[in-house]
Amino acid sequence: MIHIILFGPPGCGKGTQAKIISKKFGFIHLSTGMIFRNHIKKETNLGKFASSYINKGILVPDIITTDMLNIEIRKHFYSKGIIYDGYPRTKNQIISLEKILGNFFSETIDIIFYFSIQKNLIINRLLRRGKISRRNDDINIAIVQKRIKEYEKETSLIWDNNPKWINNIIKINASLSVETISLFIEKKIKKFLKKKNN
């Protein structure tokens, strides 16, 4: 089994790539944002609680997010691989993920695809996406800007200053086309799997 993280700012294309790659390899796609939105749609208690953070463009508290994700991860013991899209976003979430991967699968984080892109490009992308998807947190420019700030402040540096991750991180230029990026990711995953199976 392989554990792949897609990491980067809102609007960098993580979700799009997660869909393409999970389909291609038959992996499970876990998006914390999507799981939260499902809860909101179903009006669960968790959804009601999370929406007050999501609508402000700030992170949902770690304990809520990690508990929710751990429940999802446990459903996929027999899968070939999992793609984590939008998780982890804090150091606590990294620790929690390492813990469950170790305890539940006896495994570790394999690859971290690190998307980077200019800020003005992502703002435009998110506002365009908001018009199509009607996602509350994409329609409003103030919330979009808050999400980017939140990423810069709380998330962007979580892998840095820890030599442990140096060999797991693969950088991606997220301003390239969807197809170029997905082919790049595919090649890297195949290379990793080949090495693992040898």
Distance CA 174, CA 114 (A): 9
Distance CA 141, CA 124 (A): 10
Between 46 and 197, CB nearer to ligand ADP: 46
Least separation in angstroms between CB 190 and ligand ADP? 26
* Binding stretches for ligand ADP (CB under 6 A): 10-11, 32-33, 36, 53-54, 57-60, 65, 86-87, 89, 93, 137, 147
Least separation in angstroms between CB 10 and ligand ADP? 3
Q: What value, to the nearest 5°, has the Cα angle with vertex 159 and ends 11 and 98?
A: 100
Least separation in angstroms between CB 27 and ligand ADP? 18
Between 81 and 86, CB nearer to ligand ADP: 86
Least separation in angstroms between CB 172 and ligand ADP? 15
Shortest Cβ contact with ligand ADP: which residue? Answer: 33
Identify which of 178, 192, 170 has the alpha carbon closest to the alpha carbon of residue 80. 192
Between 27 and 125, CB nearer to ligand ADP: 125
- Contact call for residues 122 and 148 (beta carbons, < 8 A): yes
Least separation in angstroms between CB 194 and ligand ADP? 30
- Contact call for residues 4 and 17 (beta carbons, < 8 A): no
Phi (first) and psi of residue 14, to 5 degrees: -55, -45
Phi (first) and psi of residue 156, to 5 degrees: -55, -30
Between 128 and 190, CB nearer to ligand ADP: 128
Neighbours of 110 (CB within 10 A): 18
Between 10 and 81, CB nearer to ligand ADP: 10
